[in-house]
């Protein structure tokens, strides 16, 4: 056993390291690269140290008043989230070094990129609503400079929009944070929730809906979704890691915390509010899929697909059954892996060819066979084809929908199936274009093999390998997730 | 020992695919030869399995629940048929692809993967295993359709892919519902589990979804649209497999659910009957109108799938009415028809492949007269055509007679369905007749008539030999297999093996009533050919394409709905609720309140100034300022409009300000409450 103070390392190391990068003057690029990679790897090591050895009491850093403090602790859900991002961050860092080679203002980019890691870990390890809320806002703030990184008109607009939507969303959620802090034991997370008895449940349900939409804004829930496609102007490492995994999943994570660890499902099960939220998630997932199909910009298409998939997870949580919760968590993990590989492939393509649109992909498979081979596997997985991990989580979600018992669960299932079909259409057409369609302008007709460089290929290959491995041997991780969903 | 072969049958081709790929990297020819060798090895294993295989086996842990296989009568036969088809086509493709070597390695790689997956489906013991291999083969066989990479092939490829995906997903949903209500997906336990579960509506819904999912691959109406498009563009060995085996994979799934979960459910039987009859007639009519050699064969496949589905429906219906006698004819009939159709289509598509290989044409008017002096090809095609038309002594006769017998039994056994089934009987006979008519059309066109262009005909006549010895042996061999399967003492024994019931061996194949049915059908066919094909579909000795171009389910319904209607509707809803009705009015309203408050404050200040001016200070005129003051309401309105202008351009900034406001309010509230 190691002392609880270890819990602070994953949060403090990247934040301090990030601030240092901001002020240090690096003579060569490689110095900065080594420094930031070291910080990130150290952080990941600290995360795993905590996950493996630190299962102790919560640790309070600062107490404003009684029952209103910054406190951290570890539990299953937090471990899952932190464990997931801790595997991704070091790898995507490598990708980012090579992607950002020609960019200006690298210092600020990597500084904020590293700081974001700390904020995300803070959300994962938060022990109560207030702490989570603080780091949630912090996550928004430190990612704004990343979205605005190119500092042209488009990205400034995207940054403002991002800020408005997510801060606005958090403001909605604040209502739920305040009410639950008052009505439970200081908003401390406890599986099953610990609302005080005797409080008017109808008001709490309304607070829940506020919280759902508020935290949902970060998970691009309809109607607060439009920041996500706009924000895809950011550099690809940001879109991949933050806007497909860390930031958006933080939204889903917050909804999970709120539903299962604060409000508890007994309050909501079978109520009108539950089904309202469920139907919003259903609409959102269909809507995202349809809009992705309509979109012609490669990264924006993937962003809409992220929106759709985030709503899968919210759907799973809103079913309010342990199965649904497990499905949501599994999809959070697997979608993260899949979408990461898809975005990195998209980034490699855009970096290598300078093209942004889907019709420019025709025939590029000859030029970049490994990248688009991995893309194809990711696309199949996202659609939910067996042998890949996307199938496992989708099956779990479908099972939960059918097992929920009411007609709404079945509607959710039907929507999942429909959106999976749309997903096949919007992802696989790209793969078909890459490999089977001849280019109109013929610029790849005589192309020789010309892949992205190794630093970019490595993360792509690793994520694809994880994708297949979890698809073929899902038992271990699924039983772990099942235990977390059951409160173990 | 026997059941291990089942696992080998699945894994060896899949491992062989990678081996062939590696070999092909080194030397081009080696990949092809390796693919052929692996197919032949699989055939060997198939034969071993046929004689020695029995029982069940599993590969645990993989993919969650593990993979389960089973070897029994029907599965044993179909695993063998599959291996046989693959061996024959891969030997034929050694010559077929001699000229066009582009993407050959890719073709061979996916060919072997598909072989493994197909064996996996055919030997699966539970629906989950079937589903997994089904999905694999859907995606791997996609590369055959798109192989040539022409614009047409890509369009057909997309159709195939999306129908496959939607089929797979619908199937998944069905599996899920079945798992949810029955608690198991193993074929052996399914029947009892369903009876015990009792929630018949959910099970029925599941069965319908499974029917549609597998039906998409089988080419069942309304998901048949890929079939007539994919076959003409695929390379001929690929079309033979698509039509001969992959459609049967779909039928396998339908058959297995019908025999277990849906055994004796009347409404399910009626549904399958309707879809089967529509598929049967539609396919036959489409084939009759077609002027493309492979398209005709593809539509014919669709029609034959309709025959098989009708058999499935009759089996279920007869089970529903309790006599159980139906199993004697309908079930062996449909199983035999599956085998027959596979073998026939193997011969026919390979024969068509020879035409493509020599002259790269499929249009009947162009290829007319190609086979006039090519006797081996002529005999092979004739044997296949006679078989599929159901001429006595050839293989289709027996299975069609059994299916017909099944319908006739249904007329006697199913009270309340007598009249509809009589209609079905006639439709069955007429469809059989049309089959004869279009096969006659093809045969006469390619092998008997002369081309209108004499020079072309001379070139065709000089084109000898049209194939090498190996291909001749393979094609002729599969055609002779058709003839062999026409002999009742062999075929009925095979049927007994497949169904596990011995009685069928004593079926009187050439009794007078049975010959009469076949006679009626062939008579109708001859009439259709003479009166319709020669009079209507031919003008000045040319075959006309009279099928209306616009009449295509895919182009009229499916594509527009997916590409235009759905996004349009969703986009409109999103704009309406997302921004125009919800966010923008909200933000505008908040801005109005703020502006109003500000204006009130300012006006009250103004009032103070005016009051002070009147009382304490002397009013002072400032030059240059217009005397006319706009009214307060006008100023207010202008402020809102101007305030909202950046809003419509930049909603987000306004939102942010709004939210900051809310934050402050809520923060204060919280601070107050917490105290």
DSSP A59-122: EEEEEEETTEEEEE---HHHHHHHHHHHHHHHHHHHHHHHHTTT-S-HHHHHHHHHHHHHHHHH
In a domain, B530, yes or no: yes
The residues that bridge with A70 in the sheet, in sequence order, are: A62
Higher pLDDT, A143 or B499: A143
What gap in Å lies between CA A331 and CA A338, rounded to an integer? 10
> In B226-303, where do the E strands start and end?
none
Token pair of B603, please? 């006006």
Q: Which DSSP helix (H) or strand (E) runs through B226?
A: helix B226-233
What gap in Å lies between CA A409 and CA A403, rounded to an integer? 8
Characterize A237-267 residue by residue with b for buried, 16 or more Cβ atoms within 10 angstroms of its Cβ, and e for exposed: bbbbbbbbbbbbbbbbbbbbbbbbbbbbbeb
> Is residue B314 predicted with pLDDT exceeding 80?
yes
CB B300, CB B435: distance < 8 Å: yes
Instruction: Read off the pLDDT band of A333 (50, 70, 90).
Output: very high
CA dihedral (B426, B432, B436, B439) positive or negative: positive
Taking residues B456-473, report their average pLDDT.
Answer: 78
Q: Hey, are the CB atoms on B169 and A421 less than 8 Å from each other? A: yes
The residues that bridge with A297 in the sheet, in sequence order, are: A357
Range of the domain at B37: 1-125
All residues of chain A having their beta carbon less than 8 Å from the beta carbon of residue B574 are 222-223, 287, 291
Quick one: B398 exposed, middle or buried, by C-beta within 10 A (0-12, 13-18, 19+)? buried
Higher pLDDT, B325 or A356: A356
All residues of chain A having their beta carbon less than 8 Å from the beta carbon of residue B139 are 380, 385
pLDDT of residue B578: 59
> Is residue A137 predicted with pLDDT exceeding 80?
yes
Which of A369-373, A411-415, B584-588 is least confident? Answer: B584-588
Mind telling me how many Å the CA of A291 is from chain B's nearest CA?
A: 7
Q: Largest Cα–Cα distance of chain B, in whole Å?
A: 127
pLDDT of residue A308: 92
Top-ranked range on mean pLDDT: pick from A278-282, B33-37, B638-642: A278-282
Which of A3-12, A141-150, B630-639 is least confident? Answer: B630-639
Which of A104-108, B82-86, B132-136, B563-567 is least confident? Answer: B563-567
All residues of chain B having their beta carbon less than 8 Å from the beta carbon of residue A223 are 574, 577-579, 582-583
> Is residue B294 predicted with pLDDT exceeding 90?
no
Examine the fold and report which residue of B493, B521, B546 is the final residue of a domain before the chain moves on: B546
> Is residue A445 predicted with pLDDT exceeding 60?
no
Q: Hey, are the CB atoms on B132 and A421 less than 8 Å from each other? A: no
Average pLDDT, chain B: 81
Top-ranked range on mean pLDDT: pick from A386-390, B30-34, B601-605: A386-390
> Is residue A472 predicted with pLDDT exceeding 80?
yes
In a domain, B138, yes or no: no
> Is residue B176 predicted with pLDDT exceeding 50?
yes
In a domain, B560, yes or no: no
Mind telling me how many Å the CA of B144 is from chain A's nearest CA?
A: 11
Residue of A nearest to B147 (CA): A436
Instruction: Read off the pLDDT band of B666 (50, 70, 90).
Output: confident
What gap in Å lies between CA B247 and CA B307, rounded to an integer? 13
pLDDT of residue B580: 64
Q: Hey, are the CB atoms on A428 and B161 less than 8 Å from each other? A: yes
Mind telling me how many Å the CA of B146 is from chain A's nearest CA?
A: 7
Q: Hey, are the CB atoms on A223 and B578 less than 8 Å from each other? A: yes
pLDDT digits (tens, 9 = 90+) for A163-180: 888 888 888 888 888 888
Residue of B nearest to A182 (CA): B674
Residue of B nearest to A405 (CA): B180
CB B479, CB B473: distance < 8 Å: no
Phi, psi of A198, rounded to the nearest 5 degrees: 85, 5
Taking residues A388-415, report their average pLDDT.
Answer: 87
Token pair of A13, please? 């190391």
In a domain, B314, yes or no: no
Nearest by CB to B653, from A164, A291, A413: name it: A164
pLDDT of residue B653: 65
CB B373, CB B465: distance < 8 Å: no
A to B CB pairs, distance under 8 Å: 153
Instruction: Read off the pLDDT band of A66 (50, 70, 90).
Output: low
In a domain, B525, yes or no: yes
Mind telling me how many Å the CA of B308 is from chain A's nearest CA?
A: 29
In a domain, B368, yes or no: yes
DSSP string, B182-221: HS--BHHHHHHHHHHH--HHHHHHHHHHHHHHHHHHHT-T
Q: Hey, are the CB atoms on A164 and B663 less than 8 Å from each other? A: no
All residues of chain B having their beta carbon less than 8 Å from the beta carbon of residue A429 are 158
Whose structure tokens read 């449909």?
A: B334
Q: Hey, are the CB atoms on A157 and B650 less than 8 Å from each other? A: yes
Token pair of B113, please? 């993967």
Q: Hey, are the CB atoms on A386 and B136 less than 8 Å from each other? A: yes
CB B291, CB B220: distance < 8 Å: no
Number of structural domains found in chain B: 2
Q: Hey, are the CB atoms on B162 and A424 less than 8 Å from each other? A: yes
Instruction: Read off the pLDDT band of B326 (50, 70, 90).
Output: very low
In a domain, B43, yes or no: yes
> Is residue B648 predicted with pLDDT exceeding 60?
no
> Is residue B199 predicted with pLDDT exceeding 70?
no
Pairing of strands B67-71, B55-59: antiparallel
All residues of chain A having their beta carbon less than 8 Å from the beta carbon of residue B570 are 286-287, 290-291
All residues of chain A having their beta carbon less than 8 Å from the beta carbon of residue B655 are 164-165, 168
Nearest by CB to A436, from B154, B173, B662: name it: B154
What gap in Å lies between CA B192 and CA B120, rounded to an integer? 25
Q: Hey, are the CB atoms on A425 and B157 less than 8 Å from each other? A: no
Examine the fold and report which residue of B110, B125, B140 is the final residue of a domain before the chain moves on: B125
Residue of B nearest to A284 (CA): B574
Closest CA to B237 of B406, B354, B127: B354
> Is residue B213 predicted with pLDDT exceeding 70?
yes
Which of A133-142, A147-156, A288-297, B489-498 is least confident? Answer: B489-498
In a domain, B269, yes or no: no
> Is residue B359 predicted with pLDDT exceeding 90?
no
Q: Which of B172, B203, B230, B646 to mutate to test the interface with A (most CBs of A within 10 A)?
A: B172
Taking residues B156-171, report their average pLDDT.
Answer: 87
Which of B195-199, B269-273, B531-535 is least confident? Answer: B195-199
Taking residues A36-52, report their average pLDDT.
Answer: 89
All residues of chain B having their beta carbon less than 8 Å from the beta carbon of residue A399 are 176, 179-180
Q: Hey, are the CB atoms on A160 and B659 less than 8 Å from each other? A: no
All residues of chain A having their beta carbon less than 8 Å from the beta carbon of residue B674 are 65, 68, 181-182
Q: Which of A386, A397, A434 to mutate to test the interface with B (most CBs of B within 10 A)?
A: A386
Token pair of B410, please? 């249904």
Which of A267-271, B188-192, B548-552 is least confident? Answer: B548-552
Closest CA to B176 of A288, A321, B168, A320: B168
CB B105, CB B93: distance < 8 Å: no
pLDDT of residue A375: 92
Higher pLDDT, B515 or B118: B118
pLDDT digits (tens, 9 = 90+) for B583-609: 677 777 877 888 888 888 888 888 887
Token pair of B630, please? 């706009």
Q: Hey, are the CB atoms on A475 and B61 less than 8 Å from each other? A: yes
Examine the fold and report which residue of B80, B104, B125 is the final residue of a domain before the chain moves on: B125
Whose structure tokens read 């204060």?
A: B668
Phi, psi of A439, rounded to the nearest 5 degrees: -75, 140
Supply the pTM of this predicted model. Answer: 0.83
Residue of A nearest to B63 (CA): A472
Q: Which of B656, B657, B672 to mutate to test the interface with A (most CBs of A within 10 A)?
A: B656
Instruction: Provide the percentage of residues in chain A whose pLDDT is more than 90.
Output: 17
- Give SS3 for B124: strand
All residues of chain B having their beta carbon less than 8 Å from the beta carbon of residue A385 are 135, 139, 168
pLDDT digits (tens, 9 = 90+) for B363-373: 888 888 887 88
Alpha carbon B331 to chain centroid distance? Answer: 23
pLDDT of residue A444: 57
Nearest by CB to B655, from A168, A291, A437: name it: A168
Pairing of strands A68-72, A59-65: antiparallel
């Amino acid at each position: 056993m190691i002392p609880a103070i270890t819990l602070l390392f994953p949060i403090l190391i990247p934040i301090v390291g990030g601030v240092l990068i901001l002020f240090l003057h690096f003579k060569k690029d490689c110095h900065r690269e080594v420094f930031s990679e070291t910080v990130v790897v150290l952080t990941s090591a600290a995360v795993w140290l905590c996950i493996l050895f630190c299962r102790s009491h919560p640790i309070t850093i600062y107490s404003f008043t009684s029952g209103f403090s910054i406190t951290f602790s570890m539990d299953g859900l937090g471990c899952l989230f932190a464990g997931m991002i801790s595997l991704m961050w070091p790898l995507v860092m490598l990708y980012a070094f090579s992607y950002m080679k020609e960019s200006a203002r690298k210092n600020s980019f990597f500084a904020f990129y590293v700081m974001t890691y700390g904020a995300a870990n803070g959300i994962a390890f938060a022990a109560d609503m207030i702490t989570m809320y603080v780091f949630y806002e912090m996550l928004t703030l430190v990612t704004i400079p990343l979205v605005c990184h190119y500092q042209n008109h488009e990205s400034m607009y995207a940054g403002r929009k991002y800020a408005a939507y997510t801060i606005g969303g958090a403001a909605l959620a604040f209502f739920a944070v305040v009410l639950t802090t008052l009505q439970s034991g200081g908003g401390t997370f406890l599986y099953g929730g610990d609302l005080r008895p005797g409080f008017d449940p109808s008001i709490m349900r309304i607070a829940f809906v506020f919280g759902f939409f508020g935290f949902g804004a970060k998970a691009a829930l309809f109607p607060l979704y439009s920041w996500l496609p706009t924000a895809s102007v950011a550099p690809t490492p940001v879109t991949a890691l933050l806007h497909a995994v860390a930031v958006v999943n933080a939204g889903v994570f917050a909804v999970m915390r709120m539903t299962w660890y604060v409000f508890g499902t007994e309050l909501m099960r079978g109520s009108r509010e539950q089904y309202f939220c469920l139907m919003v998630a259903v609409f959102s997932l269909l809507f995202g899929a349809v809009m992705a199909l309509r979109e012609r910009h490669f990264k924006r298409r993937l962003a809409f697909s992220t929106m759709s998939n985030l709503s899968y997870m919210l759907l799973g949580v809103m079913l309010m059954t342990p199965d649904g919760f497990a499905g949501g968590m599994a999809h959070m993990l697997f979608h993260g892996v899949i979408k990461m590989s898809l975005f990195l492939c998209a980034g490699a393509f855009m970096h290598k060819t300078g093209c942004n649109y889907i019709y420019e992909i025709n025939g590029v498979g000859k030029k970049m066979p490994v990248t688009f081979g991995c893309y194809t596997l990711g696309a199949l997985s996202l659609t939910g084809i067996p042998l890949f991990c996307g199938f496992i989580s989708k099956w779990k979600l479908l099972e939960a929908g059918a097992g929920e018992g009411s007609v709404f669960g079945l509607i959710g299932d039907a929507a999942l199936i429909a959106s999976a079909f749309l997903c096949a259409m919007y992802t696989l057409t790209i793969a078909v274009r890459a490999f089977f369609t001849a280019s109109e302008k013929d610029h790849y007709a005589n192309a020789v093999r010309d892949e992205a460089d190794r630093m970019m290929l490595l993360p792509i290959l690793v994520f694809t390998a994880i994708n297949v491995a979890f698809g073929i041997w899902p038992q271990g991780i699924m039983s772990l997730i099942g235990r977390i969903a059951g409160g173990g | 020992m026997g059941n291990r072969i089942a696992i080998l049958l699945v894994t060896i081709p899949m491992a062989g695919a990678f081996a062939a790929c590696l070999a092909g990297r080194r030397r081009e020819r080696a990949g092809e030869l390796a693919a052929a060798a692996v197919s032949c090895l699989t055939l060997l294993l198939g034969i071993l399995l046929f004689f020695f295989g029995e029982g069940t086996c599993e590969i645990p842990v993989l993919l969650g629940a593990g993979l389960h296989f089973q070897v029994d009568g029907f599965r044993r036969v179909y695993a063998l048929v599959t291996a046989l088809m693959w061996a024959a086509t891969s030997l034929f493709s050694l010559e077929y692809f001699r000229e066009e070597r582009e993407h050959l390695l890719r073709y061979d790689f996916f060919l072997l993967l598909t072989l493994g997956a197909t064996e996996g489906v055919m030997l699966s013991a539970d629906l989950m295993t079937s589903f997994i291999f089904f999905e694999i083969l859907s995606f791997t066989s996609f590369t055959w359709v798109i192989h040539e990479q022409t614009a047409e092939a890509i369009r057909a490829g997309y159709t195939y892919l999306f129908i496959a995906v939607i089929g797979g997903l619908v199937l998944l949903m069905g599996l899920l519902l079945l798992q949810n209500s029955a608690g198991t997906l193993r074929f052996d336990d399914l029947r009892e589990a369903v009876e015990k579960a009792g929630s018949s509506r959910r099970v029925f819904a599941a069965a319908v979804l499974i029917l549609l999912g597998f039906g998409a691959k089988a080419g069942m109406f309304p998901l048949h649209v890929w079939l007539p498009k994919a076959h003409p563009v695929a390379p001929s060995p690929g079309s033979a497999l698509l039509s001969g085996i992959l459609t049967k994979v779909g039928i396998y799934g339908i058959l297995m659910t019908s025999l277990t979960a849906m055994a004796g459910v009347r409404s399910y039987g009626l549904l399958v009957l309707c879809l089967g009859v529509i598929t049967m007639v539609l396919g036959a009519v489409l084939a009759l109108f077609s002027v493309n050699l492979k398209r005709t064969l593809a539509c014919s496949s669709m029609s034959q799938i309709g025959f098989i589905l009708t058999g499935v429906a009759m089996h279920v219906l007869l089970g529903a009415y309790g006599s159980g006698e139906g199993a004697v004819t309908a079930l062996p009939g449909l199983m035999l028809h599956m085998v027959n159709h596979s073998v026939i289509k193997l011969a026919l598509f390979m024969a068509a492949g020879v035409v493509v290989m020599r002259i790269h044409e499929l249009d009947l008017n162009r290829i007319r007269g190609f086979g006039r002096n090519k006797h081996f090809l002529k005999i092979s095609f004739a044997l296949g055509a006679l078989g599929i038309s159901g001429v006595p002594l050839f293989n289709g006769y027996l299975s069609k007679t059994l299916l017909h017998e099944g319908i006739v039994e249904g007329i006697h056994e199913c009270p309340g369905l007598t009249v509809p089934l009589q209609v079905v009987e006639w439709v069955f006979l007429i469809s059989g007749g049309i089959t004869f008519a279009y096969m006659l059309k093809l045969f006469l066109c390619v092998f008997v008539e002369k081309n209108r262009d004499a020079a072309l005909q001379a070139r065709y006549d000089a084109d000898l030999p049209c194939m090498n010895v190996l291909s001749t042996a393979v094609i002729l061999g599969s055609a002779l297999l058709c003839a062999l399967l026409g002999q009742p003492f062999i075929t009925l024994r095979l049927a007994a093996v497949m169904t596990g019931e011995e009685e069928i061996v004593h079926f009187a194949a050439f009794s007078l009533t049975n010959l009469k049915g076949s006679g009626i059908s062939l008579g109708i066919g001859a009439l259709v050919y003479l009166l319709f094909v020669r009079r209507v579909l031919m003008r000045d000795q040319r075959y006309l394409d009279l099928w209306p171009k616009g009449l295509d389910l895919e182009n009229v319904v499916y594509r527009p709905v997916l590409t235009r209607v759905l996004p349009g509707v969703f986009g409109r809803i999103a704009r309406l609720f997302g921004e125009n009705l919800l966010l923008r009015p909200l933000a505008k309203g908040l801005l109005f309140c703020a502006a109003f408050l500000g204006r009130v404050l300012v006006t009250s200040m103004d009032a103070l100034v005016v009051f002070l001016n009147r009382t304490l200070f002397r009013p002072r005129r400032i030059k240059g300022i217009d005397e006319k003051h706009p009214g307060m309401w006008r100023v207010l309105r202008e402020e809102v409009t101007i305030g909202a202008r950046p809003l419509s351009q930049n909603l987000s900034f306004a939102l942010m300000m709004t939210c900051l406001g809310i934050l402050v309010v809520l923060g204060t509230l919280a601070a107050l409450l917490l105290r």
